[in-house]
A = this chain, B = another copy of it.
Amino acid sequence: MSGGLDSTVILAIALAKKRECLLISFDYGQRHKIELESAKAIAKYYNVPHKIITIDPAAFGGSSLFGSSLLEKESCCEVPKNRSIDEIKASSTPNTYVPARNTIFLSFALAQAEIFGAVEIYIGPNALDIKYPDCSQAFVDAFQGVIHVATKQAVDGKAPKLVAPLINLNKAEIVALGRSLNAPLDLSFSCYDPTESNQPCLKCDACTLREDGFKASI
């Protein structure tokens, strides 16, 4: 539960399926830590238990989503700004990619799933995330392979299913789906590089894609 548009819609989907949910967010030193406030607000809105797991900043590096002090290998980079939708779609893996981030997030989710006996784990890659290796269907399938063998829960025949309900949807479709489920999209926050007063920059890829999604879904 990043607090963004996609995880908000996924929560609405799971609740519409009458799932009993546990939300997991990560405080991993991200520039846009303000997103966690949105995650809390959405958890409160739906009255769903919410766990925020802190990840040691020593674990990451090499991404524009961190301050430069965390970078170990290279002096990396500003968050890309003012790119058009076509430029975003045509680019290679952006520098907002964080090494192994979703693998780490899913590993923590797997532990929680075993502790609480969960039957499903939800994750939110969408059709526009294809430049991120750990948002691909191949990644989801490979991690499902780990889930099938990694835990006592799996050995006992109760491995949870990894569900990625948005993986083939674009932002307009996600917004439309969220609206149809009455999801509190106004509480979500998507910006990678908020202003000092924690407002969306309206220039980064996340802001551009979000805005385009809302416009296109009208």
| Residues of chain A at the chain B interface (Cβ within 8 Å) | 51-56, 58-62, 72-73, 93, 97, 99-104, 106-108, 110-112, 114-117, 133-134, 136, 138-139, 142-143, 145-146, 148-155
Contact = CB atoms under 8 A, between A and B. Distances in A.
Lowest 9 CB-CB distances: which A-B pairs, in order? A100-B111, A99-B114, A107-B107, A100-B110, A104-B107, A99-B111, A142-B145, A103-B107, A138-B149
Query: By CB atoms of chain B within 10 A, which of A60, A149, A150 has the most?
Result: A150
A131 to B, nearest CB: 9
A99 B116 CA distance: 10
Contact of A139 (B72, B99, B146): B146
A55 B108 CA distance: 10
Given A103-B110, A104-B108, A139 B133 contact: no
Contacts of A54: 56, 58
7 contacts: A52-B58, A59-B111, A62-B114, A72-B116, A103-B146, A133-B150, A133-B155
A105 B97 CA distance: 20
A62 to B, nearest CB: 5
Nearest to A149: B138
Given A110-B100, A145-B142, A146-B145, A93 B152 contact: yes
A155 to B, nearest CB: 5
A61 B97 CA distance: 30
Contacts of A51: 58
Contacts of A106: 107
Contacts of A149: 133, 136, 138-139, 142
A143 B117 CA distance: 22
A148 B142 contact: yes
A106 B107 CA distance: 9
Contacts of A62: 114-115
A151 B60 CA distance: 13
